[in-house]
């Protein structure tokens, strides 16, 4: 099995933000090529402070350590998992019936200007037992948004679009910061998979180092390749919305989370992905520049909101 250096290209976001035109152009090409060929990159100098990441993991672990009855108070079924807590075994991958072996907490957009999209978003669920949990999530959410916006600007340039093509669509977008806990395995599991193979729904996903190994991606040769991001890197992958928008030019990579070796069954795994979504009204119609005689249009027109709704039903979060 290959290691991260073989399977995932590493890019340096500072090359894009430094102001040097040559470095910026090189970053755009490296990122675009990686997303055409692999669908995942590791990003260094990503702009999310180490201290903030450490705080995020600390408070997430404190939350998941709370008694189940306490956590259940933060589960609001009518929000389809989009805010607050989702208990163990509620979500499954598209096309699979077996639930994933995880519980999670989701934090969403807080509109701070007079954008009317504010009416679309439910308020975030405030955790009383861990006072620093909610403010830390808010800070992290904004940091992820900023890094994600730069990456989307580079993607826009690579696609021949205006650099700021995505800016207004992701400003106050429906992005989600999700904290996941895969509890210790206490009995012989029915499957070797903690989270079954899937692709992400959104434009791009920014994943800040998981607390344990287990993430694998499916490469072009149909091999499962383990991914371990280094402490100073985040892993960023293409989601289905971006694949759809680019008519499959940029690849949404299939990935999964596998169980640890038996001697590590007693351990928890924590993971914190940021799913970068646009506003619900963004059209995901295939870009004309990505439709050619050799690559005819693959997808019917749909908005981001309609597509998200469809996918939430497929994975069992929405009835």
Q: CATH number of the domain that 219 lies in?
A: 2.60.120.330
Per-residue model confidence (pLDDT) at position 282: 96
Please say whether the beta carbons of 74 and 84 come within 8 A. Answer: yes
98/31: higher pLDDT? 31
Please report, rounded to a whole number, the percentage of residues in the chain having pLDDT higher than 90.
Answer: 61
- Mean pLDDT calculated for residue range 227-252: 89
- pLDDT score of 180 more than 50: yes
Q: Is the residue at 3 inside a domain?
A: no
Per-residue model confidence (pLDDT) at position 3: 37
Q: Burial, 286: exposed, middle or buried (Cβ in 10 Å; 0-12, 13-18, 19+)?
A: buried
Beta carbons within 10 angstroms of residue 186's beta carbon: 8
Give the helix, strand, coil percentages of the chain, each rounded to 5.
35, 20, 45
d(CA 261, CA 253): 24
Of the candidate ranges 55-69, 148-162, 173-187, 273-287, the one whose mean pLDDT is the lowest: 173-187
Q: Is the residue at 4 inside a domain?
A: no
304/5: higher pLDDT? 304
Confidence of residue 208 (pLDDT cuts 50, 70, 90): confident
* pTM for this model (two decimals): 0.91
Confidence of residue 317 (pLDDT cuts 50, 70, 90): low
Beta carbons within 10 angstroms of residue 185's beta carbon: 17
User: Which DSSP letter does residue 97 get?
Assistant: -
- pLDDT score of 48 more than 80: yes
Please say whether the beta carbons of 47 and 166 come within 8 A. Answer: no
d(CA 70, CA 197): 31
- Mean pLDDT calculated for residue range 125-146: 97
14/7: higher pLDDT? 14
Q: Is the residue at 5 inside a domain?
A: no
Q: Is the residue at 2 inside a domain?
A: no
- pLDDT score of 204 more than 50: yes
Give the chain's mean pLDDT: 88
Please say whether the beta carbons of 56 and 50 come within 8 A. Answer: no
- pLDDT score of 6 more than 60: no
Q: Is the residue at 256 inside a domain?
A: yes
Confidence of residue 102 (pLDDT cuts 50, 70, 90): confident
Per-residue model confidence (pLDDT) at position 124: 96
Residue for token pair 């506003």: 279
d(CA 26, CA 125): 42
- Mean pLDDT calculated for residue range 70-90: 87
Per-residue model confidence (pLDDT) at position 94: 63
What is the span of the domain harbouring residue 222? Answer: 10-315
Q: What six digits make up the tokens of 173?
A: 């977008």
Of the candidate ranges 27-31, 60-64, 234-238, the one whose mean pLDDT is the lowest: 234-238
Q: Where does 162-274 have alpha helices with state H?
A: 167-170, 240-245
Confidence of residue 4 (pLDDT cuts 50, 70, 90): very low
Beta carbons within 10 angstroms of residue 206's beta carbon: 24
Per-residue model confidence (pLDDT) at position 58: 95
Residue for token pair 């929405």: 318
Short-list 245, 182, 170, CA closest to 206: 170
Per-residue model confidence (pLDDT) at position 5: 39
> Into how many domains does the chain fold?
1
- Mean pLDDT calculated for residue range 173-178: 96
Q: Is the residue at 155 inside a domain?
A: yes
- Mean pLDDT calculated for residue range 158-166: 96
**Pairing outcome for strands 10-12 and 40-44:** parallel
User: Phi and psi for 151 in degrees, rounded to 5?
Assistant: -65, -40
Confidence of residue 79 (pLDDT cuts 50, 70, 90): confident
Q: Is the residue at 1 inside a domain?
A: no
Q: Is the residue at 46 inside a domain?
A: yes
Confidence of residue 229 (pLDDT cuts 50, 70, 90): low
């Amino acid at each position: 099995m290959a290691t991260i250096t073989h399977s995932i290209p590493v890019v340096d976001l500072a090359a894009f933000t430094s102001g040097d035109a040559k470095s910026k152009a090189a970053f755009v090409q490296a990122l675009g090529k990686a997303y055409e060929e692999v669908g995942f990159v590791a990003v260094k100098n990503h702009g999310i402070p180490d201290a903030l990441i450490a705080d995020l993991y600390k408070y997430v672990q404190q939350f998941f350590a709370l008694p189940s009855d306490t956590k259940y108070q933060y589960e609001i079924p009518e929000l389809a998992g989009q805010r607050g807590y989702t208990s163990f075994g509620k979500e499954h991958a598209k096309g699979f019936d077996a639930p994933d072996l995880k519980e999670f907490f989701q934090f969403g957009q807080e509109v701070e200007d007079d954008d009317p999209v504010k009416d679309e978003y439910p308020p975030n669920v405030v955790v009383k037992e861990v006072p620093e949990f909610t403010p830390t999530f808010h800070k992290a959410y904004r940091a992820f948004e900023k890094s994600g916006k730069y990456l989307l600007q580079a993607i826009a340039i690579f696609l021949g679009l205006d650099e700021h093509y995505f800016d207004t669509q992701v400003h106050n977008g429906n992005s989600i910061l999700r904290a996941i806990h895969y509890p210790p395995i206490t009995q012989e599991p029915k499957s070797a998979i903690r989270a079954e193979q899937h692709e992400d729904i959104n434009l791009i996903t920014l994943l800040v180092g998981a607390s344990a190994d287990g993430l694998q991606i499916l490469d072009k040769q149909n091999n499962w390749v383990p991914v371990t991001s280094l402490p100073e890197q985040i892993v960023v992958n293409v989601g289905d919305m971006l694949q759809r928008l680019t008519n499959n030019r940029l690849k949404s990579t299939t990935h999964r989370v596998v169980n640890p070796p038996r001697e590590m069954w007693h351990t928890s795994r924590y993971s914190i992905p940021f799913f970068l979504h646009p506003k619900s009204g963004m059209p995901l119609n295939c870009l004309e520049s990505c439709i050619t005689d050799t690559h005819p249009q693959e997808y019917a027109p749909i908005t981001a909101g309609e597509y998200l709704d469809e996918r939430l039903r497929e994975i069992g979060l929405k009835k």
